[in-house]
């Protein structure tokens, strides 16, 4: 879960989210909201994402500002749950 949070939040290509689905949602102003352990247990879900599923949340009143923030300064908006996982990953990682 921690590595997944870091991958979605912190791994970048030219400053933008490395994951194309994350990049799509973040460009459109979403918040990286929740990571669900075993959220997709289909064979494809297990193979593609080890069964993890991610929720992106759109707060309509913040969508435009989130999108502008991401596109201009490459900052990802994320929930406290995701940020806690990112923090744990950074503390425990040797990356």
Confidence of residue 92 (pLDDT cuts 50, 70, 90): confident
Task: With CA atoms as reference, report the closest residue to 15 among 88, 87, 75.
Answer: 75
Packed helices 80-92 and 2-10: angle between N→C axes, nearest 10 degrees: 100
* pLDDT (0 to 100) of residue 95: 60
How many structural domains is the chain composed of?
Answer: 1
Q: If you average pLDDT over residues 52-66, what whole number do you get?
A: 97
Mean pLDDT of 40-67: 95
Q: Which domain holds residue 36?
A: 1-92
Tens digits of residue pLDDT in 5-41: 999 999 999 999 999 999 999 999 999 999 999 999 9
Q: Compare 95 and 80 and report the one with higher pLDDT.
A: 80
């Amino acid at each position: 879960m921690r590595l997944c949070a870091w991958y979605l939040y912190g791994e970048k290509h030219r400053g933008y989210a490395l994951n194309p689905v994350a990049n799509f949602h973040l460009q459109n102003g979403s918040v990286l909201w929740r990571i669900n352990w075993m959220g997709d247990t289909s064979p494809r879900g297990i193979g593609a994402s080890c069964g993890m599923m991610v929720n992106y949340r759109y707060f309509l009143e913040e969508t435009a500002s989130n999108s502008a923030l991401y596109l201009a300064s490459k900052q990802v908006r994320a929930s406290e749950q995701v940020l806690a996982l990112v923090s744990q990953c950074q503390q425990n990682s040797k990356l």
